[in-house]
Amino acid sequence: MKKIVSVIFLFLFTASIPTMATVFPLKVSENRRYLEDQQETPFLYHADTGWKVFISLTKEEFKENIQTRKSQSFNTIQVMLMLPGQENREGVKPFKDDTDFSTLNKAYFDHVEWALTYAENENMLMAIVPMWISCCEDAWGGDDLPMQINGKEKVGQFGEYIGKRYAHHKNVVWILGGDNDPGVNRDELRELALAIKQNAPNQLQTYHAASTHSSTDVWEDETWFDYSMVYTYFRGFNKAWNKSQPDVYEVSRSEYEKERIMPFILGESTYEGEHDSWGSPLQARKQAWWCILSGGCGHAYGSPLWAVPRNWREIMRYPGAESFRHFHSFFTNLKWYEMEPDFDNRLITAGAGTFAVNDWVTTSIAKDKSFSVSYLPSYRKLKINLSILRGEKFEAVWYNPRNGEYTVINKTLSRQMVELESPDSGDWVLLVKTL
């Protein structure tokens, strides 16, 4: 019966399922709210933070990584191009001397070339940080560290090299920075970005700032800058180096409402399996759903896989990661790119919770008012004002983001205030559609 209900629901509630592969390279949509491919098909950015897979995996292991993430419906891998002094699994460092970026080891970048080709053949987007500057002066950026020592000219020459070297790959976007604001490296970072853009003009770029900051908080009107990235944890989280952490839906709202309209993604937040119980599958899901329903066009899932420890295969099967296939399925069966955030709670008039707490209900409504989507992090009793939607009769469905099952509420709702109760204490998604 559940399967029948699910089929009926998909027929009534959703848009047609995309069946074609993404036609890279990506571009910014006409309304500047999301990314799309060359056929103008909206691209839901659904990334894994496999930061060190270029460095720490063999070719066969890299293939396994890509195939596992594809099976979980991830379509993007966020990755560091390199780190100072670190050899890849073929025993090659990016530079013979980190204090001189002109001392390139071509073999290192040959391996990256191979990885990008494999990923492109698998229709996987690679979001590459060319020089991770780090929060903690343990990478390329900061006072008296390699980026500053080399200076603008050599950094720009390196940007020209990788821009030319990888420009033919259509499945590449670039993430400048890396867990920190530009700071003392602003001039070098700009030179790096401009050199890549000049030599790879069809590859989009963004910036990974310090936690609580978005790309647009730290850069303004840059010609190389195409889409934004938000980054935060949540209120009460005290393990970040910045102790004041708004929730994802807060920073997403701030980004969405900026005068300068730009697509944005959640580029980093709490990782599943880190920071004790805070790194739960639930927290990972909250962040992703909150961002999309607050106007974002994608998110990045994180886990200890980023460092590729010995048990990386086990980590790839964490329950949160497995549940994200349902996140992707839900949104790709829905016109998510035509939704607008309901920040003022016009639909959910009671039961949303307390704002600025890590347990808030977010809602987004289709522009034509034909459907709404609400994410409930925990058990709720909701009051819903259906007069916000068009039409006279409505159907409501619960979607379980943990296992992908739909449950149709056994009644037709009329245009009035109604009360609904979530099925259990877990997180749930409520969909309402005009009949």
What's the pLDDT tens digit per position in 385-396?
A: 999 999 999 999
Taking 60 as the threshold, does the pLDDT of residue 122 lie above it?
A: yes
Average pLDDT over residues 226-240: 90
The whole-chain average pLDDT of the chain stands at 94
Measured between alpha carbons, how far is residue 249 from residues 209, 246, 293, 298, 355 in Å? 17, 8, 8, 13, 9
Q: Taking the CA atoms of the chain, what radius of gyration do you get in angstroms?
A: 22
Average pLDDT, stretch 78-87? Answer: 98
Q: How far is CA 246 from the centre of its chain?
A: 17
**CATH label of the domain that carries residue 191:** 3.20.20.80
Question: Is the backbone peptide bond immediately before 25 cis, with ω within 30 degrees of 0?
Answer: yes
Domain with 360, as residue range(s), is: 339-434
pLDDT of residue 141: 97
pLDDT digits (tens, 9 = 90+) for 44-58: 999 999 999 999 999
Are 320 and 345 part of one and the same domain? no
- Rounded to whole angstroms, the Cα distance separating 175 from 183 reads 16
Share of the chain above pLDDT 70, in %: 95
256 pLDDT more than 70: yes
Alpha-carbon distance values, 293 to 165, 194, 274 (Å): 37, 33, 25
Residue 209 — pLDDT band, cuts 50, 70, 90? very high
Residue 328 sits in the same domain as residue 416: no
Tell me: do 218 and 243 sit in the same domain: yes
Task: Give CA–CA dist 124/53, Å, rounded.
Answer: 14
At residue 161, does pLDDT exceed 80? Answer: yes
Residues 255, 371 within the same domain: no
pLDDT tens by residue, 283-328? 999 999 999 999 999 999 999 999 999 999 999 999 999 999 999 9
Residues 270 and 173 in one domain: yes
Q: Could you tell me if 230 and 349 lie in one domain?
A: no
Mean pLDDT throughout 426-433? 97
Indicate whether 434 pLDDT > 60.
yes
Closest CA to 362 of 354, 370, 352, 371: 352
Q: Let me know whether 267 and 407 are in one domain.
A: no
| Residue 20, pLDDT score | 78
Look at residues 295, 311, 332 and tell me which one is the last residue of a structural domain: 332
From 182-191, 192-201, 379-388, 404-413, the region with the lowest mean pLDDT = 404-413
What Å distances lie between residue 364 and 22, 38, 168, 390, CA to CA?
25, 27, 38, 15
Decide: 77 and 119 in contact? Cβ < 8 Å. yes
The stretch 398-416 carries a mean pLDDT of 89
Same-domain check for residues 310 and 384:
no
> Which of 310, 332, 354 is at the close of a domain?
332
Chain centre distance of CA 140: 24
Q: Could you tell me the CATH number of the domain that includes residue 425?
A: 2.60.40
Residue 219 above 80 pLDDT? yes
Both 214 and 108 in one domain: the answer is yes
In this structure, the answer to whether residues 139 and 158 fall within a common structural domain is yes
Structure tokens at 203: 């590859």
Region 128-148 average pLDDT? 96
Q: Which of 332, 347, 367 is the last residue of a domain?
A: 332
- Tell me the pLDDT band of 240, cut-offs 50, 70 and 90: confident
pLDDT of residue 19: 53
Residue 17 has pLDDT above 70, yes or no: no
Give the H or E element holding residue 55.
helix 53-56
42 contacts 336 by C-beta, under 8 angstroms = yes
Output the pTM of the full model. Answer: 0.95
As to burial, measured by CB atoms within 10 angstroms (0-12 exposed, 13-18 middle, 19+ buried), residue 306 is buried
Count of domains for the chain: 2
25-76 pLDDT per residue, tens:
999 999 999 999 999 999 999 999 999 999 999 999 999 999 999 999 999 9
Residues 256 and 378 in one domain: no
Look at residue 218 in the predicted model and tell me its pLDDT: 98
